[in-house]
Structure 1
C-alpha cells in the first residue's frame, strides 16, 4: 500500500501516491538543474509545471483520483527528458524550417502579444493558418456592410475566447508541441529575440517522439473513422455559427434601423400601426422580438463555437440563466400582446340609421350611382383586407375600406327608405359599438339619382377592427330601378331577381319591384328563345305567351303551339289541326 500525498502544482491540487511523487520530484529537479544557467529559467520551469498540471488534469476522471506512476511516465513521455534537448541550436541552422508540428491540432486563443483591440483577429489568424491582417480587413468589411452588427459578434468572441497567457497556451495557439524543448525556446524568444532559430527546430521529429511507435491495423481504421466524424462535426459547427451570426446581425440591424431609431421607414410600419389594437410601441415589440428570436440564434452560434473550439471558455451559469430568463419574459409578453390583439376582435357592434328619400320625379325610374374613393387604386398605399392607410386633403391620416355592400328589398309602404348600417369589432360590445359609430360614410340625392360612396373611412387611431358598411334600400312595389356605375364595383349589389344574374350583369337593364318582392327585368333579352341549330333539329319556346314546340330531324316534322287562341299542331303527313280555346275548356 502506497502513501498518498497532496501536492500543489501550478495552483492545481492533486492526489499522488508516494512512488509517483518521488519520480515526479526527481524529474522536476532534473529540469531545474538543466536550466540553472539559462535566461528566463524561472519562467521556463513555471510553464513546464503548468503544462504538466494541465496534462494531469486531462487524465483525471474525478477530483479524488490518485495519480500513479503510470500517469507520471506518460507525462514524461510527452514532455521529454531534459537531456534530449541539451543540444546547441546553432547546428540546426541549415535544416529546413518548420513552424509547427503537422500532427498538432491548434487551439483557439486570443493573441494578446499581437493585439490591436482584443487579440481576436490575431488568434483567428493562428487558428486558420492565415495572416492576421486579412482577418482584420474582413472584420472591417463585415462591420461596414452590417451597419456595425459584427461589432457585437466581435465582442462576443472577445468574451468567449480565452487569451493565451502561458507559454503552453501560446504553443497550443500555434499548433506546436508543448514539451520542454518548445517551452524553453518560446521563453528564450522574449529574452534573446531568436524567433527565426525557433522556426528552424524540427518539430516534426519532436512530434514523432510523442506518438506511439506503432499502431495496429484496427486502430488506424478507427482513427480514419474518427477523422471523418470530426470533419462532419466541424462542418456542422461552421453551419451553426453562420446561421447564428447571420440571425443575430439581421435582428440587430432591424432592431436599431427600424424598431428603435426608425432610420428606415418601411411600409410595414404603417401596417403595424393599422392592426396594432393594443397600442404597444413598435420599439418594445422589436426589442422583445430581438430577445425571443436572437437568444436562440446566440446559443446556436455558441454551440457551433463549442464544436469548433475545444477550449472555448464557458459563458457561465449566471449568463445562461439570465439569457433564458430574458427569453421566457419576451415569449410571455409577446403571447400576452397577441392575446390582447385577438381580443380586440372578440365582439361585434352595430349602428344603424334609416332615412326616408324623397325623389323629385317619383314616376320616373330611380337611379343608383356609385362614387369611387379618391384614396383607392393608389399603389403606394399598404393595406389589409381592402383597408388602406391614406391622407385627407387636410393631411389627416385615415383608414379607407372597400367593405361596402348594397341590399335591395321591398318597402312595406310607398316610401323609399335608406338604412345605413355600420359594423365594427372590439374587445367589448361597448367598444365595438363606439368604433362603429366612428365610421364615416356619405351619400347624396340629386334629382332621381341616389349617389352612394362605395367606400368608408375612419380615423387612424380607431385601428383596423373589421369596419364595414351595409346599405339597405327599401323600394315600394311598382318602382322602376336603374343602376349606374363607372367603376369595377358593381358586384356590391345584392337584390332578389326574377332570373339568375349577378350584380354586374343587372346594371345593364331596368328593373321593376313586383308584389312578391322580386325585381323583374323590363328590357332583358328573351334568354329562353332558342334558334335552329346547324343540324336543324327544331326549337322549344316556353314563355308568358305560351308554348311553341317545333321538332325536325330525319325527315320528320312535328309542330305544337299552345297560346291564348287554343292548341295548334301538325305533322309531316297531316294537315294543320286547330283546337280552339273554347273547345279545350
Structure 2
C-alpha cells in the first residue's frame, strides 16, 4: 500500500504517489538552486511549474488517477536536468557555448500573439502556427472582407475563441520551440534584457536607425548577400525572393492607405453634406426623405453608415501604415476595443432601422368606392384617359412613385400605377369601382394611407374620363400606393376604349377581365364573361392538308384516285381520267377523249 499526497501545482490539484512526490520535490528544488542568481528567477520558476502542471494534465485521464514515478520521469526527460544547462548570461550571447540536444520537439498550438498584434493578435498567432509571415495572413483577411464578406465575422470568432499566449510556456509552444528549462529561462531573460537595453539606449537607437536607414539600401544589402561566398545559392535565392515579396508588401501597403483614406474622406463629406441638408438644398434628397417610411432621422442613418463603413476602412488605412512603418506606434487596446464596440453597435442600429423600415410595408390594405354611371346597355360607352402636362412630362407608365408640385406650389407624390379591368354584369346600368391600395405598419396606418390617395374621374355624354395619374401627400411616404379601376358593363353594351388607355389595360384576358389592350380603338360588344370586337378586321386563315389522295394548300386543291387526277387552282380546273381529259380556264372548256 502506497501513500499519496495532494499537491497544488500552478493552481491545479493532483494526486501523486509519495515516492513520485519526493522525486518531483527534489527536482524542483534543484531547479530553484540553479537559478539562485538569475535575473527573473521567480518568473522562470513559475513558468516551469506551469509547464510541468500542463504535462501532468495531459497524462491524467480522470480526477482520481494518481501520478507515479513513471509520469515524473517522463516530465523530467522532457524538461531536462538543471545540470544540463549553463544558467549564466553567457547562454544568451549570439554564439552559445553549450548546445543541448532537445529530447522533445512539441507540435505548435494556436494562440493569439498580442505582443506582435495590430488588433487582437489573431494574424500573428496564425502566422506562428503555419510558419509563415503574419503579413500574408493579414492580406488574406482583407481578401475575405472584400470578397466573400465573411472575414470580419471569422476574425471576431477567432479573437473570442483562441486563447492569448500569456505564459512563457504558451509563447514557446506557439512558436514551436521546446518548452524546457533552457528555453523558458532564455525567453524571460530576453524580455528583461530588451527592457534594459531599450531604456539605456533609446536615444542612440533612434539616431542609429535614422542613419542606417539613409545609408543602407535594401537593394545593396541583398546584392552583398548574393556576393557572399559563405552562403549557398539557395539561401541567396530565398533572400532575393523575400526581398521582392517585401517590395510587393510595401506596394500593397500604399494601396491600402490610398483606398482607406479616400473612403474615409468620402464618408466624412457625405456625413457633413447630410448634416447641412436643411441649409443647402441637395438634389434628390427629398426623394430619400419621402422614401424613409420609418421616419428615422437622416443624420442618424448617415452617422450609423459612417461608423459601419468607416471603421473597417480606418483599420485598413492603419494596416497600410503598419506595413510601411515598422515602428508605428499602436493606437492602444482601449481605442481598438472602443472602435470595435462602436462598429458593432452601429451595425445593430442599422439592422433595427432596416427592420423598422420593412415593418412599414408589413400590411397592405385597400379602400374601395363604387359609383353607378348613367348609361344603359343600349348605349355606347367611350373610355378615355386624361393627361396632365405637369405630372406626365418625361414620365413612363411604370416609373413608380415620383415627387412634383401642384399649381399652389405644394409638394405631392404622384404615380401612374393604374390598372383597368373590365367585367360583365347582369345589371341594367354600368358602374365603376375605384380600389386604392397602400402599405403600412399596421391595419390602421395602411387603410389611412389608402384613403389619402387622391384620384378623380368624370362622366359626361356617355364618355368616361379617367385621370392617368393619382397623387397623395408626402406625409404618406412611398408605401407602394396603386389603383385598380374595375368597370362593370351590362351585357350587350358597346364600349370603345381610346388608344391612350392601351398601357392601362392588361395585354390579355384573365380572371374575369374581358377586354385586352389589343382591342383598343375598336368597338366591343359585351357578352356574358366575354367581349366581341365589332369592327376588327377578319383574320385570314390558311388551311393546309396533305394526305394520300388529297392535297390542299395556298396553290389549290389536288385529288388523286386510281387513274383519276383533278387539280383546281387560280388558272382553272384540270381533270384527267384514263380515257378523257377536261380543262376549264379563261379560254373556255376543252375536252379530249381517247378513241
Q: Deviations over 1:368-417 (max 9, x none)?
A: 001124344545x8999521111111111111112101111112210111
The residue aligned with 1:173 is: 210
Distance in 1 (CA, whole Å) between partners of 2:458 and 2:340 is 61
In the TM superposition, residue 274 of structure 1 has moved relative to its aligned partner by 2.8
The residue aligned with 1:511 is: 524
C-alpha contact 1:481 1:511 (8 A) present in aligned 2 = yes
The Cα RMSD (Å) is 4.4
The residue aligned with 2:367 is: 351
The residue aligned with 2:326 is: 310
Structure 1 pair 325–67 and aligned structure 2 pair: CA distance change class (3 A): farther
C-alpha contact 1:237 1:308 (8 A) present in aligned 2 = yes
Q: Deviations over 1:157-186 (max 9, x none)?
A: xxxxxxx99353244235459xxxxxxxxx
Superposition pairs of residues 359-508 of structure 1, within 5 angstroms = 359=375, 363-379=378-394, 385-486=399-500, 489-491=503-505, 502-503=516-517, 505-508=518-521
C-alpha contact 1:259 1:287 (8 A) present in aligned 2 = no
C-alpha contact 1:495 1:519 (8 A) present in aligned 2 = no
In the TM superposition, residue 367 of structure 1 has moved relative to its aligned partner by 0.3
1:489 alignment partner, SS class? helix
Structure 1 pair 173–556 and aligned structure 2 pair: CA distance change class (3 A): farther
In the TM superposition, residue 239 of structure 1 has moved relative to its aligned partner by 2.0
Q: Verify: 1:276 aligned to 2:282, yes or no.
A: no
Q: Verify: 1:68 aligned to 2:89, yes or no.
A: yes
Structure 1 pair 382–488 and aligned structure 2 pair: CA distance change class (3 A): closer
Distance in 1 (CA, whole Å) between partners of 2:397 and 2:374 is 38
In the TM superposition, residue 271 of structure 1 has moved relative to its aligned partner by 2.9
Distance in 2 (CA, whole Å) between partners of 1:298 and 1:382 is 43
Structure 1 pair 490–265 and aligned structure 2 pair: CA distance change class (3 A): same
Q: Deviations over 1:122-161 (max 9, x none)?
A: xxxxxxxxxxxxxxxxxxxxxxxxxxxxxxxxxxxxxxxx
Kindly tell me the number of residue pairs found equivalent between the two proteins.
Answer: 380
1:409 alignment partner, SS class? strand
- Structure 1, unpaired ranges of 5+: 8-13, 16-64, 75-163, 178-198, 541-548, 560-569, 576-585
The partner residue of 2:272 within 249, 256, 265 is: 256
In the TM superposition, residue 462 of structure 1 has moved relative to its aligned partner by 0.4
Distance in 1 (CA, whole Å) between partners of 2:228 and 2:460 is 108
2:414 alignment partner, SS class? strand
Structure 1 pair 556–389 and aligned structure 2 pair: CA distance change class (3 A): farther
Distance in 2 (CA, whole Å) between partners of 1:412 and 1:475 is 8
In the TM superposition, residue 455 of structure 1 has moved relative to its aligned partner by 1.5
The residue aligned with 1:520 is: 532
Structure 1 pair 203–489 and aligned structure 2 pair: CA distance change class (3 A): closer
The residue aligned with 1:32 is: none
Structure 1 pair 67–387 and aligned structure 2 pair: CA distance change class (3 A): farther
Structure 1 pair 486–408 and aligned structure 2 pair: CA distance change class (3 A): closer
C-alpha contact 2:420 2:506 (8 A) present in aligned 1 = yes
The partner residue of 2:241 within 212, 217, 225 is: 225
Query: Which structure carries more relative contact order (alpha carbon 8 Å, separation 6+)?
Result: 1
